[in-house]
Chain A
Amino acid sequence: MRSVLFWSAVVLILVYMTLPAVVVVATSVNPTELMAFPPTGFSLRWYEKALTYPDFQEAFKSSLVVMALSSTLATLLGSSFAFLIFHYKFRGRGLLEAALWSPLIIPHFTTGFGFLLLGSHLSLTQGYAVIVMAHLLLVTPFVTRAVFVSLSNVDTNYARAAANLGATPSEVLFKITIPLVLPGMIGGWLIAAILSLTEFTASLYVTASRTQTLPVAMYNYIREYADPTISAISALLILSTTIIMIVANHFLGLRRILGIDNG
């Protein structure tokens, strides 16, 4: 009885969490310009419009550039930083940790605003440098956490055993530590890439019209038009992230990466 009640609650809450996504996907295939749920027919015209709309094409390219650079840099930075705080105590570590964890807490618009001002000081407002930098800061904590959790789950004695058998520190790092935390690094990279691709608030501040990323372009579109083109793009994003999540869960174990092991 109790568990029936509990699981009904769980299902209802999950419906609440997933209902919007379902609605978006449903409306994206609706042939009419007016939103209708459930759809009154099936058409891919909004997908065609979304994929051929020049603003979105440009924005998608920008997004890919920013995503590739920031997530890769974040993986390098986050992994080395996780390694650093996992292994070493040093003066100023607390301050450094505060600085690199704080983008999780600091409002994205404050971060975006800060980089906007910094960018205009350095006359970098038209390029990708400032956008990549802002994204790098926003997504690095997720990589750091994933790699840190992986490091905590790996027995430090493996590294000691390797060193004891004559491996140099570089050999230990590249042949023992990195292979063992690779799932964490890949998971972290994936999370970083997706978060960068979908980041909006900070991007709104730091992108120029030439460099606007996909979410910014979508925001501008929503403010002007009310047809299901955005539904089509959203549906594509929702379906691809869902597939990525299922695949990631299968190969990397989401629960392990997130530190939610079964108690």
Chain B
Amino acid sequence: MTQQRPFFIPFLVPAVLVAVIFAAAMFNVFQYSFLEFVPGSVEVGGFTLDNFARINRPIYYWVLLDTFLLSFATAFFALVLSYPIAFAVVRAERNWVRSVLVVLAITPLFTGEIVRTYSWMLVLGTDGVINTTLKALGLIEGSIPIMYTRPGVVIALVQFAMPVMIILLATAISQVKRDCEKAAANLGATPNTVFWRVTIPLTMPGILSSFVVVFAWTMSAFSTPQLIGGGKVLMISNVVYLQGFSSFNLPFAAVLSLIALGAALGSLGLMKLATARFERKLATV
């Protein structure tokens, strides 16, 4: 048995060790959510359920709803804008075009949250590129507010989400059998029909999973709502930070973190269910 499994133990041990450390960190969040908050101190008291009861206030409902809606809008617009790019990344005829597209599409992922958020502040700000350009063109008199608004936050979030979405969609599109599209065209389907009746259904698992991944990802966005929302647009992450670092209410921050975690895992579970259904449908021998 051991001879059949070389390196099983040496490869398993570090993985388990790291997984256990991570589980311990997550358990700490779980544990803190049941501990009593002592105002003005980072020390905590005994067991209590009060932290969960605190959630029951309109302001937190609004924050949760806002987070949900902003994430949904972000995932939607990211999908609409990413699909053409992913399609081009996979299907462009020339190799250099595909290479240029992939570098342009993926690089923003690696410049990091702060750089990207800061760049958007320069674009969206009161004296930002958009406002100065519009003013120079004489289209507007005063600055239009984009910073500190929900649309502004979404504009930035969509761009953050796109590289990941493009990777996931491109993977799905590259798995579509070209023969299926050719067959549809051969049977009389116009290019439009081929796209909507064959390509889109065949990439539906990828569309669903990328949508949910971006949705979950955006729900945990922090620096964008923090800096571009500027306290006027609050997402869960910003409230966690406020509770943890301004009020030092670590137990309540833990509760909010758990809610965010639950929402992320919940949407992932939904995605698994939905894609499993599609993949069963699409399974070929």
Contact = CB atoms under 8 A, between A and B. Distances in A.
Interface of A: 2, 6-7, 9-10, 13-14, 16-21, 23-24, 27, 34-35, 37, 76-77, 80-81, 83-84, 87-88, 90, 96, 99-100, 102-111, 113-118, 121, 133-134, 136-137, 140, 169-170, 172-173, 191, 194-195, 197-201, 204-205, 215, 218-219, 222, 230-231, 233-234, 237-238, 241-242, 244-246, 249, 254-255, 258-263
Contacts of A237: 111-112, 115
Interface of B: 5-8, 10-12, 14-16, 18-19, 21-26, 28-29, 32, 81, 84-85, 88-91, 98-99, 101-108, 110-116, 118-123, 125, 127-129, 132, 159, 162, 167, 170-171, 173-178, 191, 213, 216, 219-220, 222-223, 227, 236-237, 240-241, 244, 250, 253-254, 257-258, 260-261, 264-265, 268
Contact of A109 (B106, B112, B220): B220
Given A14-B85, A109-B241, A260 B167 contact: yes
Contacts, number: 266
B15 A100 contact: yes
A109 B237 contact: yes
Contact of B261 (A35, A87, A110): A110
Contacts of B265: 105-106
Main SS class of interface, B: helix
B110 A107 contact: no
A19 B123 contact: yes
Nearest to A216: B114
A14 B104 contact: yes
Nearest to A25: B119
A200 B223 contact: yes
A198 B112 CA distance: 5
